Amino acid sequence: MKPIIWHPGDPTGPDLLGTVVAHNVRTVDGKKFLLKKGAVLDPERLERLAHAASEVHLLRPEPGELHEDLAGLRLARAVCGPGVRIKGLIGAQYQLVAEQRGLLRIDPCLVRAINAIEGLTLFTTFDRQPVEAGELVAAAKCTPFLIAEEKVAQAEQIAQQGPALRVEPYQPMRVGVLLLERVSPEARERFEDVLRLKLGYFGAQLGALVEARQSEAEIVPALRRLLDDGHDVVMLAGASSLDPLEPLFPALDAVGAKIVKHGAPAHPGSLFWIAYAGRVPLFGLSSCEMFSHKTVLDLILPRVFAGEPVQREQIVELGYGGLLEAGMDWRFPNYGRDAAPGAD
């Protein structure tokens, strides 16, 4: 780019057409803008330039350079994967929003590589965050007023390894529940109401809810029934995950379920465990997870219902940011707590 200083009284000829204003230009009284920074001089803006009260800095594009708006648009288009769309240009940045409710997936390596290109900027929320349709998930912009097109092409090439951003929709799964704890009819009704609320958020439905005594002889056939009936997910409520003689765990072995991780580095919900019987995830619900909306379980459910297998490493990684205290509501699905009977 070639910088130009225009002074009041200088000619405003056609040679200035296409140049870019490098700063805001106000009226003589300073109350209104004559020209805004980043504006490209067309005939109408060129006429306004003649009324500037002080010098104006302009930038003349060189061959192979792009204006910030076009560069930012190309970057935004390049990083949008399935389930993400461009909302529009707001404040010199293109806002990217979720097209649907689902699990936001971000490739941090691609984001890092794009941001390493001088002049281009991509900033996002967090990977594996539950999002709503229309929710802001990222923004893309070009920082300078003009940038070499080859840098934008470099970013587009990096983004082809992606997608850098996508939203995985929740799958309409059927959930079976095995209740191992004796509860009052009122407590059971409350539990079912809270569970239906959560499942409804994901578009899932509650299947069979089976009760069994805490003995291997009752748990094994109950689990087999839930698995044979084609439930996509099985939740088990009421068993102690700390008791080494708890009959639940040999029962899991008996039905071919393998524990992925026992215990999670987060609170509340540190006793969380998850196992898989083939592709079907099974996990335990502690008392807090049965009724609360802000536990380890509520970080894992969006991944399960997005069809993402939960690996041991993913649970281990929960320790970073695993202190789930007040002020972290944004990390959890918005179940519609106002309508939740007994929620939290």
Count Cβ neighbours within 10 Å for each residue of 292-330 and write b for 16 or more, e otherwise. Answer: bbbbbbbbbbbbbbbebebeeebbeebeeebebeeeeee
Please indicate, yes or no, whether residues 158 and 245 belong to a single structural domain of this protein. Answer: no
Its pTM stands at 0.88
Dist CA 217 CA 38 (whole Å) = 74
Give SS3 for 38: coil
What is the pLDDT at residue 29? 73
- pLDDT above 90 covers a percentage of the chain that reads 73
Residue pair 78/155 in contact (Cβ under 8 Å)? The answer is: yes
Q: Average pLDDT of 16-30?
A: 89
Position of tokens 């839930």? Answer: 226
Domain range for residue 210? 174-339
Counting the structural domains of the chain, the total is 3
Please indicate, yes or no, whether residues 246 and 186 belong to a single structural domain of this protein. Answer: yes
Asked whether the predicted pLDDT for residue 221 surpasses 60, the reply is: yes
Please indicate, yes or no, whether residues 52 and 70 belong to a single structural domain of this protein. Answer: no
Where residue 9 falls among pLDDT bands split at 50, 70, 90? confident
Please indicate, yes or no, whether residues 206 and 321 belong to a single structural domain of this protein. Answer: yes
Asked whether the predicted pLDDT for residue 290 surpasses 70, the reply is: no
Please indicate, yes or no, whether residues 284 and 196 belong to a single structural domain of this protein. Answer: yes
What is the pLDDT at residue 287? 63
- Write the pLDDT tens digit of every residue in 43-98: 999 999 988 888 999 999 999 999 999 999 999 999 999 999 999 999 889 999 99
Q: Dihedrals φ, ψ of 82, to 5°? A: -55, 135
Instruction: Please return the burial class of 42, using the count of CB atoms within 10 Å of its CB with bins 0-12, 13-18 and 19+.
Output: exposed
- Write the pLDDT tens digit of every residue in 186-213: 888 888 888 999 999 999 999 999 989 8
344 domain-assigned: no
